[in-house]
Amino acid sequence: MTLSRFIREHIQDIVVEWESFARTQLPAATSMSNLALRDDAVEILSAIADNIDSEQTPSEQYAKSRGAGLQDAFESAASTHGSLRHWSGFTYLQLTAEYRALRATVLRLWLPGNAAGSEEVTEDVIRFSEAIDQALAESVVAYSEQMARTRDLFLAILGHDLRAPLATMVSAGELLKRRDLSEDQHLDIGAMVDRSARMMGEIIKDLLEFARTQLGSSIPINPEEGDLRNVCDTALEGARAVYPGCPFHLHAEDDLTGSFDSVRLHQLVTNLLLNAAQYRSEGSAVVMSAQSHADTLSIQVQNFGAVIPEESLQAIFDPLVQLARRSDSAARPKTSLGLGLFVAREIATAHGGTITAASSEAEGTRFTVRLPRMAPRRAESA
């Protein structure tokens, strides 16, 4: 059986192997569905089979070996795969490893039923290797292009977001040079500087955590006995300082003790509160509740604003994903790097917990965090 025919007739078996290998690429694959792991596998394999069957002269083979044919391939299944793997958090090495595993899988399944060393088998292996290399090159080009665009977007957003609080602090410094300021004016200026410094601190904190995850390391935690009520209280205090005009309310049950990393959970809760304040309707409140269960603790943060579409509820936890802002919120301070919810999800995962989102006109937008009362100790060395 020719290799191209084998690929077409056994395409589902090959895709299962593809998915199984992709599942091992951590941490990106941890939260990916089976469909996302398979991605464009069927289309890529079909294109490889067609490539093997296509007529090719020696000069065309030589040109292909030097990268010809990629210029018009940016809309291919392989290029789409490269872009999507970038957005899913796969590293460059993980992307290339998928193709290495695909090459080995197909040959392992096909070669035993064919006469080794025959001219037809040799020709099929050569054409297959060429097709794999072309698909890999298309994926890598698309991945690199997407990475460059993301880097430029990231730097542009970072510069924009840091400029506003920095400008406020510079203005405050100029005002403090005046000798005719009253005590109340000094207090107002101090509050301005404090809010700006807190905003910049949250941006930088999220940046550091994002950089850690991009280097292949999960967020480390150090679980100790603590009270979730204290975490919520201090997070509310910080959120009120950043958004002084936003009403915040807390409903907490009595027994919220457990073993967790209080510093990390403070970061998680703060990110949820700031996100809720940023996207709430003008005049509405942000409501947080903390509840105790037999073996778990849960936190909910709710606001009323624009409804998040169902298809966006998972994407909002990915880095650099931003929701459209309401026109009435333009004047409010914001952190728009799109990292806050991503970091919150990573912290919840490090604790062995989950974070989900729901949004409707009737109940507003609600983020729910569920954590084991005793965080796993294995996460300490992550």
The DSSP letter of residue 219 is P
Whether 333 contacts 243, CB under 8 Å:
yes
Strand, helix or coil at 376?
coil
pLDDT, position 318: 73
Task: Determine phi and psi for 32, rounding to 5 degrees.
Answer: -90, 140
Higher pLDDT, 270 or 208: 270
Distance CA 308, CA 189 (A): 36
Distance in angstroms (rounded) separating the CA atoms of residues 278 and 311: 21
DSSP-assigned states of every residue in 146-193: HHHHHHHHHHHHHHHHHHHHHHHHHHHHHHHT-S---HHHHHHHHHHH
How many Cβ atoms sit within 10 Å of the Cβ of residue 102? 22
Q: Which of 243, 270, 249, 259 is nearest to 332 (CA)?
A: 243
Q: What is the distance between the alpha carbons of residues 100 and 90, in angstroms, rounded to a whole number?
A: 15
Task: Please report, for the chain, the start and end positions of each structural domain, with discontinuous segments joined by +.
Answer: 3-149, 151-214, 224-381
Q: Write out pLDDT tens, residues 244-292.
A: 889 999 999 889 999 998 988 988 998 899 889 988 999 899 999 999 9
Q: How far apart are CA 47 and CA 157, in angstroms?
A: 38
Per-residue pLDDT band for 208 (boundaries 50, 70, 90) equals: confident
Q: How confident is the model at residue 38 (pLDDT cuts 50, 70, 90)?
A: confident
Rounded to 5 degrees, what are φ and ψ at 24?
A: -85, -5
* H helix runs in 307-379, sequence order: 340-350
Query: Is pLDDT above 60 for 70?
Result: no
**pLDDT for the residue 12:** 94
CATH number of this structure's domain 224-381, picked from the four choices 3.30.565.10, 3.40.50.1460, 3.40.50.1100, 3.30.70.20: 3.30.565.10
Tell me the sheet residues that pair with 371: 297
Q: Which residues contact 223 (CB under 8 A, 6 or more apart)?
A: 259, 260, 261, 351, 374, 375, 376, 377, 379, 380
Q: CATH number of 3-149: 1.10.10.10, 3.40.50.300, 1.10.490.10, 3.90.1200.10? A: 1.10.490.10
> What is d(CA 27, CA 189) in angstroms, rounded to the nearest whole number?
44
Spatial distance between the Cα atoms of 339 and 195, rounded to a whole number of angstroms: 19
Q: CB neighbours (10 Å) of residue 123?
A: 13
Higher-confidence position of 152 and 340 = 340
Most confident residue range from 21-30, 114-123, 270-279, 322-331:
270-279
Residue type, 139: S
Res. 28: pLDDT tops 80: no
Residue 202 has pLDDT above 80, yes or no: no
Between the alpha carbon of residue 193 and those of residues 170, 197, 205, 240, 357, the distances in Å are 9, 6, 18, 14, 33
Indicate the average pLDDT of the chain: 83
- List residues bridging with 365 in a β-sheet: 303, 359
Q: Inform me whether the pLDDT recorded for 36 exceeds 60.
A: yes
For residues 89-116, average pLDDT: 89
Please report where in the chains the tokens 């005049």 appear, as a residue: 283
Examine the pLDDT at 98 and tell me if it is beyond 80: yes
**CATH class of this structure's domain 151-214:** mainly alpha
Task: Give the model's confidence band at 69: pLDDT under 50 very low, under 70 low, under 90 confident, else very high.
Answer: low
Does residue 45 contact residue 86 with C-beta atoms inside 8 Å? no
What global pTM score does this model have?
A: 0.55
> Tokens standing for 174?
């100029």
pLDDT classification of 321: cutoffs 50, 70, 90: low
Q: What is the pLDDT of residues 209-227, one digit of tens each?
A: 766 665 555 677 889 999 9
